[in-house]
Structure 1
Amino acid sequence: MLGAIGLDERQESAYRALVALGAAEVSDLAHRLGLPEADTERALRRLEQHGLAAQSSARTERWVAAPPGVALGALLTQQRHELEQAELAAVLLAEEYRMDADQPAVHDLVEVVTGASAVAHRFHQLQLGAVSEVCALVTGKPIAVSGMENESEEQAAARGVSFRVVVEREVLALPSGIVELSAALSRHEQCRVVDRVPTKLVIADGAMAMVPLTGRGADPAALVVHGSGLLESLTGLFEAVWREAMPLRLAESGGIGEDTTGPDPTDLEILSLLLAGLTDASVAKQLDLGLRTVQRRVKGLMELTGVSTRLQLGWHAFERGWVAR
């Protein structure tokens, strides 16, 4: 156990025996350890160098153990200091190596993060370190961080970081889905909906991205990608999904002004969720409305626009600016 401070097995046994006895002569200690006296004395000399033992001033053949709390504590402090110095030297050497390299090494362009806590920590770091924009693709099956636990998103948005988020339709059916999206829209984040996103993804300032390496049921792991061709591909993937996604509008994200003849905020929520692909029953459940109330409001909007089908209603909603293009 004391090998970390430079003692071998024989020296550690000698120190333990000396601690148990308090003090002992070489011959007595050699007999207790089952070692020749010469080997025992060499072990004691080594302990003396470490400050763990000392010869008695009254009898040179008698050795006394130094108090473990004091002696070992000093050695451990010295070891920690040496390790810190070695760690600092390693960091400086690594930095010097990077500065001398003409091109970044492949292992500097990606990093693998494993374990739920490590993935969550790196995810929060990514958002908290963003300066201008965070782009994300969100599924309905979080692996390490759920929407309700994503406090770093609120903090980044409060600093003025803009967010563009695409969620898959399954998110809208989650018990907290509408609540989380309403909160995001109230922070002026842009949210869109698609049937399915190809993968979970978060990109910070176009300079760093994070994608999962494992699915549900496995120990969470993620790949953090720095500036590279792979990062450009992930950015292109997000932009392609963003262009095809349906803008989402809820009451918290803004009403329609003072026009009392048009749809009210609840009508706009219903329209937005229907255009996102939810059924009447799902919309009623998410907005805590009765099914007949939803159907009555849709019928009222159709009468307001003078159309006979929901497809025509969607077209008129876009034309009149009730929902975003």
Structure 2
Amino acid sequence: MLGAIGLDERQETAYRALVALGAAEITDLAHRLALPEPETERTLRRLEQQGLAAQSSARTGRWVAAPPGIALGALLTQQRQELEQAELAAALLAEEYRAESAEPAVHDLVEVVTGASAVTRRFVQLQLGATEEVCALVRGRPIAVRGADDEAEERAATRGVTYRVVVEREVLTMPGGITELTAALGRGEQVRVVDRMPTELVVADRSLAMAPLTGRGAEPAALVVHASGLLESLTGLFEAVWRDALPLRLGGGGDAVIATAAAGPDTTDLEILSLLLAGMTDASVAKQLDLGLRTVQRRVKGLMELAGVSTRLQLGWHAYAKGWVARDLRERP
């Protein structure tokens, strides 16, 4: 807990013990911490350097704890000042980088990232660096660029970053696929589905993109594209796939599930309808939603009767006409 102000686990434990005791001999503290006395003394010396402990003037070998409100407050103030200086340095470096890259050379417009760990690290950086929007095309079996990183997405969402994600239908049938997509919808992300995905892709703030460079089976490698005509093409590709994809509605998805009148379809009906329109079979829908096959078929029949249609194709058209599902055809700037 106190690692943020420079204490390791052993130092924090020793300080807490010393605070609880008020004062203690090295022997007693070593026994309490289950540490050798030399190691305990080194830990106390470190705490002394940070102003958290001091040797008693009344008795040699006895140590007392500095008042936490004063000692920790001073360390926190120092940490804030150092953080402010780091933020200022980062801002100056960013300004210097922008000035230098105002007219980048052609070879500076792309980066080649190789190796699974390097690709993953760059992918997370891409999301954490976004300030407005992250767009992603996700395949069922990704080659290099993953479609989601829960921790990075949650941290980005807390900063107001929006997500638009298109997933390949195969994702819905993979273990944990529905659960992950439900969580994404719950974070306010917009999710759509296509039958086949042309490629994997992540675009951050329309200023940086990442796409796979190698084929399946080879060492993971990705291409990071900066502002350029290629970036505009990749962004255009995402928008084209997004326009043709079907919106996904799942329980627990917040705004992704629309409110309906009592006589209209309920939340489960909308989940079933959304998955069917995404191309899943009745059996697959039943499995993913933990429903019986007959329950799914009965609900679909009920939707057809409610819509006054005789085929599932007609049901799909009716669903769009009545707003049970929606496809946003508006062009984005």
TM-score by length of 2: 0.65
Q: Secondary structure at the match of 1:156?
A: helix
- Hey, what does 2:126 align to over in structure 1? 126
- Hey, what does 1:35 align to over in structure 2? none
Distance 1:96 1:256 in 2: 47
Cα shift readout 1:154-206 (whole Å, capped 9, x = no counterpart): 21122110111111111111111111111111111111111111110000000
Distance 2:183 2:204 in 1: 20
Q: Secondary structure at the match of 2:252?
A: helix
Q: Secondary structure at the match of 1:198?
A: coil
Structure 1, 300-309 or 252-261: larger mean CA deviation: 252-261
Instruction: Tell me whether 1:248 sits opposite 2:248 in the alignment.
Output: yes
- Hey, what does 2:113 align to over in structure 1? 113
Structure 1, 215-224 or 201-210: larger mean CA deviation: 215-224
**Partner amino acid, structure 1, of 2:299:** R
Give the counterpart of 1:270 among 269, 272, 276: 272
**Partner amino acid, structure 2, of 1:162:** T
Distance 1:149 1:303, change over 3 A: same
Residues 128 and 156, structure 1, Cα contact 8 Å, conserved in 2: yes
Residues 145 and 210, structure 2, Cα contact 8 Å, conserved in 1: no
- Aligned counterparts, 1:92-241, within 5 A: 103-143=103-143, 149-241=149-241
Residues 124 and 150, structure 1, Cα contact 8 Å, conserved in 2: no
Distance 1:280 1:216 in 2: 31
Distance 2:117 2:128 in 1: 16
Q: Secondary structure at the match of 2:164?
A: strand
- The unaligned stretches of length 5 or more in structure 2 are 1-94, 328-333
Residues 119 and 220, structure 2, Cα contact 8 Å, conserved in 1: yes
- Hey, what does 1:259 align to over in structure 2? 261
Distance 1:127 1:97, change over 3 A: closer
Instruction: Tell me whether 1:323 sits opposite 2:325 in the alignment.
Output: yes
Q: Secondary structure at the match of 2:136?
A: strand
Over 6 Å off, 4+ runs? 95-98
**Partner amino acid, structure 2, of 1:316:** H
Q: Number of residues paired by the alignment?
A: 231
Q: Secondary structure at the match of 1:313?
A: helix
Cα shift readout 1:264-316 (whole Å, capped 9, x = no counterpart): 11110000000111111111111111111110110111111221111111111
Deviation at 1:259, TM superposition (A): 2.1
Distance 1:211 1:275 in 2: 28
Residues 203 and 209, structure 2, Cα contact 8 Å, conserved in 1: yes
Give the counterpart of 1:282 among 273, 281, 284: 284
Residues 139 and 147, structure 2, Cα contact 8 Å, conserved in 1: no
Query: Which entry has the higher C-alpha Rg, 1 or 2?
Result: 1
- Hey, what does 1:299 align to over in structure 2? 301
Distance 2:160 2:102 in 1: 36
Deviation at 1:258, TM superposition (A): 6.1
TM-score by length of 1: 0.67
Distance 2:108 2:315 in 1: 52
**Partner amino acid, structure 1, of 2:321:** E
- Hey, what does 1:311 align to over in structure 2? 313
**Partner amino acid, structure 2, of 1:106:** V
Residues 143 and 216, structure 1, Cα contact 8 Å, conserved in 2: yes
Q: Secondary structure at the match of 1:137?
A: strand
